[in-house]
Structure 1
Amino acid sequence: MANDAPAGNTLRDVPANPSGRDDPVRAVLTAYTRELVTAVDDTLADFLTTEVDALAEIDAAMGGFAATARDHVLAGGKRVRPTFAYWGWRGAVGGSEPLPPVLPALAALELLHTFALVHDDVMDASTTRRGRPTAHVALAAQHVAAGRRGDPRRFGEAVAVLVGDLCMVWADRLLARAAVPPARLLDVRGCYDQMRVETVAGQYLDVLGESDAARWSVDRALRVARYKTASYTVQRPLLFGAHLAGAGSDDALVAAYTHYGRAVGEAFQLRDDLLGVYGDPATTGKPAGDDLRTGKPTVLLMLARQLATPSQRRALERAGAGGGDREIAGLAELVADTGAVERVERMIADRVAEALAALDDASIDETARIALTGLAGTATDRRA
C-alpha cells in the first residue's frame, strides 16, 4: 500500500492487530489525523482566500465580514467529520486511490460544521467556543469598537446568522469541486442533503427540549443525540465517504457504517453531556455546568431525574434556574449521586461495543477497520 502524504496520494498505513490504547496504532492514528487535518486545512485555506477576495470586491466591509467567517472556519477543531468521511471512503476504495480528488468534499464538511456551530452558539447564547469568543459575541464587540449605532448584541447575532449562512453556501460550492463522476457526485449530494435535514431536525428538538424540559424524557433526549450529533458527526460522514467511493445504498458496507456510525455518534454526544457538566474549561474551551445552568434536557439530566429520590428530584428542579458556580457545582455533585454518571458511562461503553461488532463481519479495507476501531475509542473517551 502507498505511504504518501495526503497531498500526494493516501495516508500512511496503520499496522495490524492493535492490542490496546497505548500500542503503536494509537500513535499512527495520531499521525494520520495530523496529516489529514493539514490536508483539509490547506484545502480550506486555498478555497477561502479566493472566496474572501471575491467578496471584498463587492465592498470593503464585505471583505471584513467574509474574513470573519474564514477565521471561524480556520480557528482549529478536531476535524472529526472529515476524518470519519475519509475512513468511510478509504474503507471502500482501499489504499491505492489518490486522495486529492475527494479532498474538496471532505473539507466541505468542515464548512458545514462551522455553519452549525455558529448558529448553535446563537441559539444557546454561548459566549465561548474553542477557548475564544463565539462569533456573535466577537461581532458584538466589533460593533462597539467601531462606534456604530444600535444594539450590539442584536447586530452580533444577526451577522453571526449570516456568517453561518455563508459557510453553508461555501460548503456547497466546495463540495462541487470534488473530482468524481457526475452521477456519483449526485449520489454524494443526496447523502449530504439528508445529513443537513437531520441536523436541522435534531437542532429543532434540542431547542424545543429546553422550552419543555419538564415533559422531556430519556428516549427523546437520545433522539436529539441521534439526529443533532450522531447523524452529522459520525454516521452521515461515514456514508458520505462511502458514496464518494461509489458504494450504493444497498451495499453491505453501508449497512455496517450505518450501525457503527449511529452507535459511535450517540456515544460521542453522551460524552459531550458529561463534559458539559464535569469537563475542564481549559480543555473543553467552554464553561463547565452550562447545561445545568440552562436546564438543557440532556440524557444525563433526564437520567438523573429518573433515578433520583424524591428529595433529590426536588433539588434537581433548580437546574435551569441559573445560579452561581457554587450552586452549579452542587447540582453536578447531586447528578453524580443519583447514579446517572455511571449509567451514562455504561451507555457509552455499550455503544462502542455495538459499533465494533458492526465492523466485525464488514468487507472493509483492513487499515480502515483498524482506524475505525481506534476512532470509536478516541471519539468517545476524550476530555474535549
Structure 2
Amino acid sequence: MADEAGERHASWLELFFDLTVVAGAAEIAHRLQGAESVGQIAACAAMFYAIWSVWTTTSIYANVAGERTRQRAVLRTMLGIAIMAAAVPGVWPELLPGEHDVPGGRTAAFVIAFLACRAVAAGSAARDGQVIAFWPATQTVTATPWVVSLFVPPPIDYWLWGVAIAADLTFSMLGAVNPRMIARMTEQARRRQDERNRRTAHRLAAMIQRGVSPDRLPDASPTLISVAQVERGHLAERLGLFVIIVLGEALAQVVAANTDIAWTPAVIVSSLAAFLLLVKFWRLTTEYGFTLAPRLRKPLEPWQALPAHLGVTAAIVAIASGLGALIPGATEHLQTTDRWYIFGGLALYLLASVFAGLAGRAALKWYLGWVLPSTVVAVLAGVLGDLVPAWSLAVVAWGVLVWFGSYERLVKG
C-alpha cells in the first residue's frame, strides 16, 4: 500500500502477520494473572521478549526487502508465532501456581518455534544479499543457551533464557554502533554468499551438461552483498501498529472482566477509568509516536527505538493483566502483584520514555515537570495502594497518564 507521493506503508501481508501478536499478548497477559512469584513473572517477560523479537526481526526483514519480501517466509514465521502463543500456558509448568494438568513438551515446542522463526528471517535476508547492521539480531541469534536450556534442570534453564535475551539485546545495541562489528558482519555475509554463488554455478553447469532446456534453468545471477538501509517511516508505522495491537488486547481484557459480574458503581467507575487509560495510551502513541518523548530534536536510530518499543509494549501487557484483575474486585483491596502490574507497568512506560527522551535530547522541563511527578505517583500508588479500594487505583492510574500526556498542550498553551 502506498500513497500518491510514493510513501511506503504496511502491506496487507504485514497486517495479516500482525494478527498473531494478538494471540501471543493475550496468552501472556492471562498467564501473568496467575503468576505469584518473581520467577513466574520473569518467565512471562522472557516469553514476551521471544515473541516480540520474532515479530521485530520479521518486520525489519520486510522493511529492507520491500517488494522482494518472501511471502512464504513471513507466513512460516506467522505459523511459528502461533505455535509459540499456543505453547505459552504450558511453558515451564513447574512455575504455574497450584495444581495444573499441563501437556508435556510445550517448553521445547516454544523454544524450537522461536529458533526456527529467527532462522527463517535471517535466511531470507541473507538470500537477498542484505546485511542488516542497524539491528544485528535480525540475522543472528544466541542459540546455544536456548538449546542447552532444553536439557538442564530448573532453575538453570531459566537463567539460560535470561542470558540469551541479555546477549541478544546487548549484541544488537552495541553492534549497530560498532564499525568493526559491522565490517565483520559484512565480510562474513560476503563469504557465505560467495559460497552460495559457487554452489549455484555448479548446479547450473551440471544441469546444462544434462541437457536441461535453457528456459528451465534457474537464475544464476550472483547475489551481491549490501548493507541494508532502514526505511524510517515504514519502521515507525510498524512499531506504532504493534502498540495499537497490544492496546487492543488490553481493551479485550477490560471487556472480558465485565462479562460475568454485576455492574456496581465501583465496577463502572473502574471500567470507565481503565477504558480512558487505554484511550490515553492510544492518544500518546498518535501524538508522540512509539518513542514517547515529545519534540525530539532528531529521530531515534533503530538501536535506540527498538528497546524503547520493547519496554512500552511489555508495560501495556502488564497493565492489561492488572486491569483484568482489578475490575472484578473493584470494591476490594487489589492484591500486591496485580497492583504492581498496573503501576510497575506505568513506571516501565515512563522509563522507556526517559530512554527515548535522553536519546532524542528532550527538554529538561519535561523530565522535571512531567516524567518525575508521574513516576513518583506511580511508585507511591504501588507501595501504598493496599490502603484504598481497587476502583480508586484505576482512577489514579488514569490521572497519572493524563498529567504525563499534558506536556504538549500546556507548553503550547
Q: Tell whether the structures are fold-level matches, with TM greater than 0.5.
A: no
Question: What's the TM-score once normalised by structure 1's chain length?
Answer: 0.35
Larger RCO (CA within 8 A; separation ≥ 6): 1
Larger of the two Rg values belongs to structure? 2
